[in-house]
Structure 1
Amino acid sequence: MNTINSEKPASSDKAPPKMPGALPLIGHMLDFGKNPFNYMMKLRNTLGEIGEFRMFHQRMVLMTGPEANEAFFRAPDTQLDQSQAYKIMTPIFGKGVVFDAPPDKKDQQLKMLMPVLRDKPMRGYAQIIVAEVEQMVADWGDSGEIDLLEFMKELTIYTSSHCLLGNEFRYELNEEFAKIYHDLEKGVNPLAFVFPYLPLPVFRRRDKARARLQEMVTGIIAKRAQKTEKSEDAFQLLIDARYDDGSRLSPHEITGMLIGTIFAGHHTTAGTAAWTLLELARRPEHMQAVLSELDRLFGADGEVTFRSLREMPLLENVIKEVLRLHPPLIFLIRKVMQDFHFKDYTVKAGKYVCTSPRVSHRIEEIFPEPEKFDPERYTEARQEDAKPFSWIAFGGGKHKCTGNAFAMLQLKAIIAVLLRRYTFELTDAKDHYQDDFTQMVVQPVSPCRVRYRKRQTMCDTATQASEAGTAEKTPTGESFRIVIDRELCQGHATCMSEAPELFQVDDDGNLTVLQENPALDLLNKAKQAEKYCPTQAIKIQLK
């Protein structure tokens, strides 16, 4: 593994090169605001893997490429602070919640949510998501037309709230919650990076929605306290949670963390789900290949389950390629708290550094023909994403999105159910479907209309996602060793589900490797643990 040392090098102390063309007061904001991706690509092409630009009074340093990404993601919080960079979310999450909390408190809050993203509850989410999709298309009929993005937004708010928040938000408060969430989401405005409390209508609606949601949360807490049976959703986890000092979360804190949970699992997934169907509809050959994989796996009547969703290599590669070309978060930001060093350059404290998945995903040396939609990049034969920190759609390092496994499960379940029932066609010219860079979370430009038609034929050869069909052959050799990157491990406990003889994860998410020199007959289980680890924290090495 290539490790970048962010400590000061002995040789040089150069400042990153600066992008020309800054205007008085606003800097590069006009060019950046027109199309952030084009501007950042221009910066990389002009200055290389590191370069500085200015947004109003803030000095920003863009770092792109695997080495720069690794330095960015592996830097300690004391040096590159995530919280300081995302104060934009403070009015939405609330004062003292997540990014606005002191580091120790923030870590405790995030740990409180981890149990709903661990492997055991994840196995039950597949059925919930499948049922929600089936319900959404129940009255579609044989053909019709929809705004795909709006459909996905509605569907993913149902699936995310049902899986993570509980029945009250999904069924009892659904209509009002949807409106509140919409007003909160609109409050994530680029202006809020610099002026989060301007007296604008969009910010006033944001603040009113947050106050109303806290009223609703307080009411649900009181109702749940009267019940003898406890729910097992994120909401109940937060009600029961305790800080290290034994104190409970306040309704204000619970509200902010529930908002954060849905933000992480909704708007990014909605755009990616829409783009997945759009990219397949643009390319009939890829659409047919995915349909064939689904038909082979399920036949006419096979059940979509947690395990079958994991055995869809072609669909998974399609989704990865969609995330390469259309990552929802165009850039990730940290504030420099202590001088940060990368190669020969020093970024001074007080500036901001950012990395861009979208730019890094288009580096031709890593991804040849970067504008081409090519899901085969991720096959065993090519492995274009094998270089660490080259594919960063979910971020990287210890701050990698903890919900990435849930997002992939949700995406595969949605696409699998829809494509088993319907085929999709574009209603407009292919070039009409573009990314909307006016939004903080990049999604297809709206309206985003497609036609659907019920599938008339489906392979009825009921194939099974059997272990025989997917298990790997045991390689020859004497033994193997397990290497854990502790910085990447987030405690999902997937490894423990796959190989309980080798891994144990306690309630606090701490991983223990149970055998230092495992027998070779456990290699396949170890490889499964490596394959399905959401953060790629496990490496299996043959001796």
Structure 2
Amino acid sequence: MTTETKKTVQLPPGPSEKFDLNTTSESFDKVKALVADFPDICRVQSDTRQNDSYLVNNPDYLKHILVKNYQNYNKGLGFSRVKMLLGNGIIVSDGPFWKRQRRMMQPSFTRKVIAKLTTQIQQCNQKLFTDWSKKANLNQTIDITQAASELSLEIVLRALLSDDLDTLIEEQGGINPFEFLTDDFTRDIKVVLKFREVSKLLLNIIHIRREQQPERVDFLAMFMDSRDKETDEAMSDKELLDELMTLIIAGHETSAITLNWTWYFISQHPEVESKLHLEVDANVTKNSVPQFEELDKLPYIKQIVDEALRYYPPVWLFTRKAITDDYLGDYFVPAGTDIFITPYFLHRHPDYWSDSESFDPERFTEAAIKNQHKNAYIPFSAGPRRCIGDFFATIEMQIHIGLMARSFQLEYIPDIPLELEPDVNLRTKHPILMKITNRK
């Protein structure tokens, strides 16, 4: 006689009120309240959706969703409006197509390849350094939000297109056709029209490269040369376009937002600023852009960036959808369940982060990292779908801070209230203004 053991169907706890969760600012306060009452997981019932939503904030459950059983979870809610702009790029694609694209693109994001692309990062920062030097000599104010956005955009464009960016700007009468991405109105759906315009320009570059086959050291060249190991297929023009648009938007937004917050935190914590100055003074030649191989001598900069990403992760909430029935611990997850994951609140979970509202780069020393729960820190997500450009973004920010902190001091000007705007990305509602002076 055999006894068949069935797992008890247990659903997560949750509020009695029915409502919809979304990846927009309207949901921020709701998520905050839910996490306060249900720190690890909760079930939210909906009047309008076919399936319930689970808000998952436990790193062990997240490891299951994002790492161990990631194949059972598609991208889910929140990506439809992104897909409207980015096509079927690596951020929004799913299934076999996503696996193919990831296989083809991953070799372009190794440490060895990124090292070759740091020249473009250095050149963009050198240009900004010249501008900041002029402003510092006059004790002027800089809009760090705008400056970080413009810098990050130029870096990602040059990493993708190299010299073709200059040709593009020249053909547009000296205007960067992607400049609109640094403006506030990009939050309006009308931006779709602008995306169509720049998509045509990028397709033209792809066509010219196919015809002329110029030598280039950039991501587009690597993507065009890449072949799928399983089928030996190359990417089509449309696939290349979708990946370019995806990396332009994702790469620009992540670095811009993080640099914006990083300079703010440095200015607000004299002890952090002092330790940063000691590090760069000892390891960075004044007026000189740090080289890739020198970054290992600047661990504190990396700690500052990591802590800024913990405190204000660029994407405060993202989603998955269960494909088939599953379990998170003892909790049953029916097929079709919408999963909401919130790095912002995970990075404040009291079981994994002490005094989480304080800014403390010491959380990210080598010794401290060994004691962290690996999946309690996910500014770039986790698992096979972790952000493909995370290393590039980190290197970009380290080089920038190393150069600028060696020569300048930025002082926050609190004339405009500092407010969060948690839409798709965790922006500031108003620009952060700073007074720039030369360090003595």
Q: Give the TM-score, by structure 1 length.
A: 0.72
Q: Identify which of 101, 123, 130 aligns with 1:109.
A: 101
Residue 410 (structure 1) shift: 0.6
Distance of 2:93 and 2:308 partners within structure 1 = 34
Distance of 2:53 and 2:106 partners within structure 1 = 32
Give the corresponding residue for 1:466.
none
What amino acid maps onto 1:219 in structure 2? N
Q: Identify which of 240, 249, 262 aligns with 2:225.
A: 240
Give the corresponding residue for 1:452.
436
Distance of 2:175 and 2:52 partners within structure 1 = 42
Q: Is the 8 A contact 1:53 1:60 kept in 2?
A: yes
Give the corresponding residue for 2:141.
145
Distance of 1:441 and 1:385 partners within structure 2 = 29
Give the corresponding residue for 2:84.
91
Shift of the 226–11 alpha-carbon distance from structure 1 to 2, 3 Å rule, reads closer
Distance of 1:278 and 1:228 partners within structure 2 = 44
Give the corresponding residue for 2:43.
52
Residue 357 (structure 1) shift: 1.1
Give the corresponding residue for 2:301.
315
1:467-493: CA deviation from partner (whole Å, max 9, x where unpaired):
xxxxxxxxxxxxxxxxxxxxxxxxxxx
Which shows bigger deviation, 289-298 or 12-21? 12-21
Distance of 1:404 and 1:261 partners within structure 2 = 11
1:61 equivalent in alignment to 2:54: yes
Q: Give the count of matched residue pairs.
A: 425
Q: Is the 8 A contact 2:160 2:220 kept in 1?
A: yes
Distance of 1:259 and 1:358 partners within structure 2 = 26
Runs of 5+ unmatched residues, structure 2: none
Give the corresponding residue for 2:421.
436
1:251 equivalent in alignment to 2:243: no
Compare relative contact order (CA 8 Å, sep 6+) and give the higher one, 1 or 2. 2
Distance of 2:237 and 2:185 partners within structure 1 = 20
Q: Is the 8 A contact 1:15 1:346 kept in 2?
A: yes
Shift of the 318–102 alpha-carbon distance from structure 1 to 2, 3 Å rule, reads closer
Distance of 1:299 and 1:97 partners within structure 2 = 40
Shift of the 314–447 alpha-carbon distance from structure 1 to 2, 3 Å rule, reads same
Distance of 2:205 and 2:180 partners within structure 1 = 16
Shift of the 441–171 alpha-carbon distance from structure 1 to 2, 3 Å rule, reads farther
Residue 247 (structure 1) shift: 4.5
1:213 equivalent in alignment to 2:198: yes
Residue 246 (structure 1) shift: 4.7
Distance of 1:41 and 1:246 partners within structure 2 = 48
Shift of the 60–75 alpha-carbon distance from structure 1 to 2, 3 Å rule, reads farther
Give the corresponding residue for 2:11.
15
Q: Is the 8 A contact 1:98 1:110 kept in 2?
A: yes
CA RMSD of aligned residues (A): 2.8
What amino acid maps onto 2:175 in structure 1? E
Q: Identify which of 160, 166, 184 aligns with 1:164.
A: 160
Report SS of the residue matched to 2:356.
Answer: coil
1:67-118: CA deviation from partner (whole Å, max 9, x where unpaired):
1221221243442112676333221222x54466562222212222223311
Give the corresponding residue for 2:389.
403
Distance of 1:49 and 1:280 partners within structure 2 = 31
Distance of 1:64 and 1:169 partners within structure 2 = 42
What amino acid maps onto 1:409 in structure 2? I
Q: Identify which of 29, 34, 45 aligns with 1:43.
A: 34
Distance of 2:8 and 2:27 partners within structure 1 = 31
Shift of the 385–440 alpha-carbon distance from structure 1 to 2, 3 Å rule, reads farther
Hey, which of these two has a bigger chunk of helix by percent? 2
Distance of 2:296 and 2:150 partners within structure 1 = 25
1:280 equivalent in alignment to 2:266: yes
What amino acid maps onto 1:50 in structure 2? I
Shift of the 286–134 alpha-carbon distance from structure 1 to 2, 3 Å rule, reads same
Shift of the 225–45 alpha-carbon distance from structure 1 to 2, 3 Å rule, reads closer
Residue 381 (structure 1) shift: 4.7
1:339-359: CA deviation from partner (whole Å, max 9, x where unpaired):
120111112111211221111
Q: Identify which of 353, 366, 375 aligns with 1:389.
A: 375
Q: Give the TM-score, by structure 2 length.
A: 0.88
> Identity of counterpart residues, as a percentage?
20
Shift of the 415–354 alpha-carbon distance from structure 1 to 2, 3 Å rule, reads same
Residue 36 (structure 1) shift: 3.7
Distance of 2:66 and 2:354 partners within structure 1 = 24
